[in-house]
Structure 1
């Protein structure tokens, strides 16, 4: 008598009972999807972003780097989250799409001059910090996409529009969002 799992798999067609051992069918071949940790669709590393170096963006990148590198590694993400929450709590108004895009692009341009890792996590956090120095808010997002599992961090306007991101960013489900949700006043 088959076990309950085997019986269920036979009923659903996932298993086929045989009297004698048989070889498996050849697996179907398909290209393996490339894992993306948020930087594969951006031209970073391929071509330099045009525009001037920004000292304020450099400070925001240095702040991000310091928060994640100083102290225990296990708590780095917690420290970054607390810093993002604190910076977002001091904002006065939502950043416009143009202001947010300008900040993200300034961080990307400036990252070319830094000798440290600057991927989506560092880039998005630095852009959030940069805007907070101007008392402007965005929503910082950390999300996940499946098959294969991919993580990505980005900023979006308070209206929910991703800033300076490819359309594929919409495939990510935000698992954590940080940022002031301002009420629009007419």
Structure 2
């Protein structure tokens, strides 16, 4: 399986190694000279902790899905956490048989965000989107997990979409991201 992705914006190429989690930016003036991007957070839309909690209801299954994602992230060497997470997402989406509706997908994201609000661990879009996939997979509902890059400044974001490509519970700014990796898309299924 190919674990490297490169997104070319013309003025910068962003190279993501999903095995190690390393992100490099290559400038066109010297495409052979790599410059290390700022430390990748694997998501630039962090939850505003300490402000008003999300209004969705508490969902113990969402808390379990989030705890599972956090355990996957922390179980082993840090350099392989992204590889573990994407493998877990592939396993979860392989068991899904019915596409989630937009309402179901958005409700899953909101439920996970509610659970994340109480989490003592770092919880941003990567963890939230992965937990939403797991929450829906518990009900055998499928969505597509997306990880993308936006330029100026270079930033990363993760989100889920329904099978028609509509982002679930995301702001319009998500459309500024170029998708580098998807997991669970209808084309991924046998």
TM-score computed with the length of structure 1 as normaliser: 0.75
Pick aligned residue for 1:166 from 162, 171, 181: 171
What is the total number of aligned residue pairs between the two structures?
147
Query: Matches of 1:38 and 1:130 in 2, distance apart?
Result: 22
Query: Matches of 1:44 and 1:97 in 2, distance apart?
Result: 26
Shift of the 165–44 alpha-carbon distance from structure 1 to 2, 3 Å rule, reads farther
What do residues 63-85 of structure 1 show as CA deviations (whole Å, max 9, x unaligned)?
A: 00000001000100000000000
Pick aligned residue for 2:157 from 146, 152, 160: 152
Pick aligned residue for 1:139 from 141, 144, 157: 144
1:57 is matched with which residue?
62
Q: Which runs of 5+ in 2 are unaligned?
A: 1-41
Query: Matches of 2:178 and 2:82 in 1, distance apart?
Result: 19
Asked if the contact 1:139/1:177 (under 8 Å) is kept, the reply is yes
Does residue 38 of structure 1 match 2:76? no
What aligned pairs does 1:21-32 form with structure 2 within 5 A after superposition? none
Asked if the contact 1:142/1:151 (under 8 Å) is kept, the reply is yes
User: What RMSD over aligned residues (CA atoms) do the two structures have, in Å?
Assistant: 1.9
Does residue 95 of structure 1 match 2:100? yes
Give the Å deviation of 1:39: 1.8
TM-score computed with the length of structure 2 as normaliser: 0.73
Q: Which runs of 5+ in 1 are unaligned?
A: 1-35
Asked if the contact 1:140/1:155 (under 8 Å) is kept, the reply is yes
Does residue 124 of structure 1 match 2:116? no
Give the Å deviation of 1:110: 1.1
Larger Rg: 1
Give the Å deviation of 1:114: 1.4
1:82 is matched with which residue?
87
Shift of the 52–84 alpha-carbon distance from structure 1 to 2, 3 Å rule, reads same
What do residues 121-150 of structure 1 show as CA deviations (whole Å, max 9, x unaligned)?
A: 000000000000000000000100001001
Query: Matches of 2:149 and 2:50 in 1, distance apart?
Result: 23
